[in-house]
Structure 1
């Protein structure tokens, strides 16, 4: 029977990029039903497991997302179910989520039970983090895609989050003027940027979660209006955007007229990543 280290060396050589060793360990751990840290305790791998591992490495080398192969993605303190049909949550979104967590905790410390809405929830990553980290908050989330909803239902089971299938434009009309925080990671890639999007993203993440009109801001304009009717005066909006949109997104919220203190923020890599604003 093959040894794990031999399999890992071969797999790393077949994969590309600086993350190849880590991806090989993740795939082997998945096949063995262990964590990557537990691989050091494995002496041998069965022929069947080695064959399955090799097949997964081939798929990863061909560009299939690692998270689709394992069926899970990690976001802040949560492990989420993901796969074809849902946008895989990215680490850069964690900073914006942390900003929202801080805002909700501030309200809790004042004796409030804050209300937050996650629009375009996708896998439910953001609102799941809010539920885990601010259990006193009242949370709502919506998603338009039927495929993505299936993952969100799974990921939000038992959290108490009010999850509905709805469009960004008209979601949660019953909450108008009562929400403390709206957070959203909308689609924001311009249609004209199709060719520049990496094949792994373009071919595997759902188009609904990626592209948003000629300039990438169609959904952002809708968000500015929807959040304006949901959020109470002084409430917070947080929205992720593309690195190159740090000026144009600010202009969207300023032009809408309902927002003040419109500020752009960087992610952990120092790149412009999300905007916040306060309801007038």
Structure 2
């Protein structure tokens, strides 16, 4: 922890950039504003060592009035919080990640969906709901470790078929959801078909091999709707795919509440 006493006039906007107190290439706007308004400030800022290694600082800036009540100096306390910051970021990642597959989880999906559903797009956005057709049989025949292996292989298959801006999450069990931004429904259908075809090639090296496969339901997002609404349509399409013989893709066009 570093405690410094710095004259207030020395930190004009131009001079603040070269302040030896902080050593930042650009003085952070919130602390600078606090100095200009002569008020206390807490802020976390990213800084760099001379070798380029990043580290995080917690800045506590306190105005120090003289006997006449005029602020001529401020006190600044610097505390390295790099370790705490990394721990916090790790916990946040864990809170939004599925531990088994490494994919985003339901909480991350809901957050992504909220922003996507209100984003205008000439092509629209699409959602794909998938699950494995023989997952229970794998668990019953080979055990849960084999089932876990299959889930990880399927997650890898999903990622290999997506673009950089696409989003995939595991809901739980053998259910997965893909969000396809700026994607026409027919294009989303093709993506789902490719994944379903690829799932035929998944293989667990055991005796008495089981023929794997997957099914998918596809729907277009309605502007401003909630995740549950879109999922209800996709779930109906998925049910239609599985009841129609599995290993297929079905599309749901209308709102699930207006069937």
TM-score normalised per structure 2:
0.29
Q: Give the structure with the higher percent helix.
A: 1
**Structure (1 or 2) with the larger CA radius of gyration:** 2
Query: Larger strand proportion, structure 1 or 2?
Result: 2
Q: Which has the higher contact order (CA 8 A, sep 6+)?
A: 2
